[in-house]
């Protein structure tokens, strides 16, 4: 799915060093498709041991954050093992953008490859977004990938960086397989010419 402008609620996650096992625990990695992982997102933080009762000290399931599309986190988000299931779970739950003070490198690249937009901002900017979110009941944010800007309902506006290659891929809703298929005609011509032998 292509990403251009994302407007909506923000879920604030005031934690550093959130690893991929906390994002989605290892016992849920048996599926081979990319769908269905959202229900297990932050599983041990969201649910009691019975797997059904929602914990009251973790607010992701509260009405305030229903349908949130932007996750706002701290330092080193996505550290730990390199499982692609972590961005799959975040995306399947409904998040399109992850804003953090910093990311683990492999997780950052896995997000881009799986249609999630990871944005790294300065610590004071993330703190300002957290503060604004905490003080406003109907806090909203707008992320423009095209213009590489973030604006919130309190008047804060910042820009962010992204590699042009990945910007194009996300804007057009492509993954690396789609990109290869765009050159299918050229590949077939190359094979027919005998140069590929």
Half-sphere exposure of 98 (CA within 13 A, CB side): 33
CA-closest candidate to residue 125, choices 108, 150, 142, 103: 150
Under 8 Å between Cβ of 104 and 45: no
| pLDDT tens, position by position, 139-185 | 999 999 999 999 999 999 999 999 999 999 999 988 766 666 565 67
At 144 the three-state DSSP class reads strand
Q: Which long-range contacts (CB under 8 A, 24 or more apart) does 86-90 make?
A: 86/20, 86/23, 86/24, 86/110, 87/111, 87/114, 87/116, 88/24, 88/34, 88/37, 88/114, 89/23, 89/24, 89/37, 89/38, 89/40, 89/41, 90/23, 90/38, 90/41, 90/116
**CA separation for the pair 150, 160 (Å, rounded):** 8
Q: For residue 143, which of 98, 85, 175 has the smallest C-alpha distance?
A: 98
% pLDDT > 90, the chain:
76
Rounded Cα distance, 164 and 192, in Å: 33
Instruction: Return the pLDDT at 23.
Output: 97
83, pLDDT greater than 90: no
Q: Which domains does the chain have, with CATH numbers?
A: 5-171 (3.20.19.10)
Closest alpha carbon to 151 in 171, 122, 125: 125
- More confident: 135 or 175: 135
Residue identified by tokens 């269905």 is: 36
């Amino acid at each position: 799915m292509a990403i251009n402008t994302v407007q909506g609620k923000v879920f604030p996650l005031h934690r550093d060093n959130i690893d991929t096992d906390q994002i989605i625990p290892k016992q849920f990695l048996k599926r081979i498709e990319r769908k269905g992982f959202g229900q297990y997102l932050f599983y041990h933080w969201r649910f009691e041991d019975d797997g059904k009762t929602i914990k009251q000290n973790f607010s992701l399931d509260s009405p305030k954050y229903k349908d949130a599309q932007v996750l706002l986190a701290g330092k080193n988000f996505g550290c730990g093992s390199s499982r692609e299931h972590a961005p799959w779970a975040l995306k399947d739950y409904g998040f399109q953008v992850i804003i953090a003070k910093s990311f683990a490198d492999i997780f950052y690249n896995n997000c881009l490859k799986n249609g999630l937009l990871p944005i790294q901002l300065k610590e004071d900017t993330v703190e300002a977004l957290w503060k604004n979110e905490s003080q406003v009941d109907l806090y909203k944010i707008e992320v423009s990938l095209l213009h590489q800007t973030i604006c919130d309902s309190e008047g804060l506006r910042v820009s962010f960086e992204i590699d042009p290659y990945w910007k194009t891929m996300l804007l057009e809703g492509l993954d690396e397989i789609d990109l290869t298929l765009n050159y299918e005609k050229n590949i077939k011509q190359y094979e027919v010419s005998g140069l590929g032998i």
